[in-house]
Structures are given as C-alpha cells and as structure tokens.
Structure 1
Amino acid sequence: MKQERTKFLAQAALIAAIYTVLTLIFQPISFGAVQFRVSEALCILPYFSFAAVPGLSVGCLLANALAGAPLPDIVFGTLATLIGAVGSWQIRKLSRFLVWLPPVLSNALIIPFVLRYAYGAKELIPWMMLIVGAGELLAAALLGNLLLLILEQQREFIFGREYGSDQL
C-alpha cells in the first residue's frame, strides 16, 4: 500500500513538473486570448493514471503562479484544468480518443471569463470561447492524441501493469 501511494505521488509530481516546465518554456504562446499551451497535450494522461488529475491541476497552478498570472487566472485556470482532468478520467472507458474532450470544453467555457475579468479582454465572450477552444483543441486533441498513441506503446514501462485501473 505504501509503495502504491509513493508511486502515485511520484507520478503526480512528475506530471505537475512537466506541465509547469512546458507551459513556462512556451510562455509567449501559453497565455492570452489566443493561446496554444503545448502542456495541454498532457491532458490525455488521466487515461493512463488517476495521478494525472492532481498532477495536471498542480502543474497548472504552479505554471500560472510562476508566470505571474493574476489571482483569478491562478484559481479559475486551475479549476478548469481540474474539471477537465476529472472529466478525462471519467470518459476514459468510453473512448481513449475522447479523453481530450473534457479539457477542451472546460477551458473553452471558463477561460474566456478569466480573460475578460482578470486581463480586461474586450472581445466578446462567445468569440473568446471559440478562440480558446480552438487552441485547446489543437493542443489537447491533436498533440494529446499523438502523445496517447506514443505512450500506449510504452504503457507498462511508464505506468505499470495496472494503468487505467479504477484503483487510486
């Protein structure tokens, strides 16, 4: 039991670190009304392990805080990531190629309000939903599914034999 808990924490921490680093390395395109967060490709990871749910959320929190984002972005950006990650965990049994859908929806619905009220964006909310959703679609669906295919080939080595199990 202790070994499983340690493995879970290590996976979550590693995912958080990778998400944070990718977001900060690509900071110029990771923030704003038109954004392409390369790190959002990792949103497919709940397909393999529940550890990705806290990992992605903590990674988003750290990335936003370290990049100097305003408090509403830190709070609600992290909430959007958490909602998307939980949704991906829930939908993983329906289709492996749809685990990107909850993050796209949660970000497209929440982040435009963050952009309006935290950053003062003047664009219409529906327009920002479309733009944020498009960027998220490219990162989470396109890059995410490519990552999923690569990771599936190495799943036992990376995640262990029990990947995708319902055990936490």
Structure 2
Amino acid sequence: MKKTTYLVQGALIAAIYVVLAFVFAPISYGPMQIRIAEILTVLPYLTPAAIPGVFVGCLIANLYSDAGMLDVIFGSLATLIAAILTYYMPKRWLAPLPPVLVNVVIIPLVLYFALELPYWLSVAGVLVGQIIACYGLGYPLLLVLDRYKLLQK
C-alpha cells in the first residue's frame, strides 16, 4: 500500500471515529455505553491503515471522557490492542471479537478506578454496548466493504 493512501485512510478513519463519538456522545461514554464509533474497529481486518486510524480517533474522543487520563491512556491502548488483533483474525466473522473482548476487560477497570462506577455493572454495560456496536453494526459494515472491495489489505 502506498504511504499516501495509508495516511489518508488512517486519517479518515480517525476523523470518522471522532465525529461518531461526538455525535453520539450521550451513549458513547459511561457504564452503559454503546459507542457507535466502535463500528470502525472491524476495519483493521480489511486494511492496516485502520490500526492507527481507530487508535488516534479513540484517543481524541477519549480526551473528552469523564474518566480523564485513565481513559485517554488505557481506553486508547485497548483500542490499539484490539485493532492489532483484529488485523490478524483468520475469519471475517471473528473480526469484531477482539474489540468486544479487549474492551470488556479493560474499560470496566477504567470506569471503576476513574469514576468509582460499579465494576460488574460496567462489565455488563460495556459487553452489551460492544456487541451492539461491533457485531450488530460493525459486522454488517465489514460485509459491505469486503463485498465491494472498498478497502484492501
């Protein structure tokens, strides 16, 4: 992939992530969150440019989180780890799994330590929200993009 294409794709993905997080801000943060921007976390399956794209987008979006620097650091790292794992998924239907699992492990801890929110309530809220965003919305997006070869590894 050419460097320019890589940079442009990554920047666009980051920008779209930030816009989606802000437009849907009331449901993007907190213990019962459905971060619509997480639909983009399936994109590393199709293009490596999505790895820095979703990471930077998440980092910027987390600057506005009530969980503060813990979310900026650990929430963004969770997205980076999930994006890398998604890139290496062997089957398309597995692409949404890393963002679900990584976020359900890390984000409830961030919410617990930063906002003193009940841990298990946060686990349940993040799990449901990630399943909705990644499998309910992200997987259909992945199918469409893959079918029409709109992004390529």
Which interval holds the TM-score relative to the shorter structure? over 0.9
Give the whole-Å Cα distance in 2 for the aligned partners of 1:53 and 1:46.
Answer: 6
Contact 1:22–1:38 (CA<8 Å) still a contact in 2?
Answer: yes
AA partner of residue 129 (structure 1): V
TM-score for both structures, normalised by structure 2 = 0.94
Is 1:140 aligned with 2:134?
yes
Give the whole-Å Cα distance in 2 for the aligned partners of 1:75 and 1:145.
Answer: 26
Percent of pairs identical after alignment?
44
Q: Return the match for 2:97 from 69, 78, 101.
A: 101
Contact 1:24–1:67 (CA<8 Å) still a contact in 2?
Answer: no
Q: Note the residue ranges of structure 2 that are not aligned, 5 or more in a row.
A: none
Q: Note the residue ranges of structure 1 that are not aligned, 5 or more in a row.
A: none
Give the whole-Å Cα distance in 1 for the aligned partners of 2:115 and 2:121.
Answer: 16
Q: Equivalences for 1:121-160 in 2 at 5 Å?
A: 121=117, 123=118, 125-155=119-149, 158-159=150-151
- Deviation track 1:111-154 (CA, whole Å, cap 9, x = no partner) reads 00110111121x1x244223211110110111011101221232
Please identify the structure whose Cα radius of gyration is greater.
1
RMSD: 1.4
Alignment-derived partner of residue 43 in structure 2: 45
Give the whole-Å Cα distance in 1 for the aligned partners of 2:16 and 2:139.
Answer: 17
What count of residue pairs does the alignment treat as equivalent?
153
Give the whole-Å Cα distance in 2 for the aligned partners of 1:136 and 1:36.
Answer: 7
Pick closer, same or farther for the CA change 1:69–1:24 going to 2, 3 Å.
farther
Secondary structure of 1:150's aligned partner: helix
Is 1:27 aligned with 2:21?
no
Secondary structure of 2:18's aligned partner: helix
Q: Return the match for 1:57 from 52, 55, 58.
A: 55
- Deviation track 1:80-134 (CA, whole Å, cap 9, x = no partner) reads 100110110111xx2101100001011000000110111121x1x2442232111
Contact 2:67–2:110 (CA<8 Å) still a contact in 1?
Answer: no
Contact 1:88–1:100 (CA<8 Å) still a contact in 2?
Answer: yes
Secondary structure of 1:84's aligned partner: helix
Give the whole-Å Cα distance in 1 for the aligned partners of 2:97 and 2:130.
Answer: 9
TM-score for both structures, normalised by structure 1 = 0.86
Give the whole-Å Cα distance in 2 for the aligned partners of 1:72 and 1:62.
Answer: 13
Pick closer, same or farther for the CA change 1:131–1:69 going to 2, 3 Å.
closer
Give the whole-Å Cα distance in 1 for the aligned partners of 2:11 and 2:66.
Answer: 21
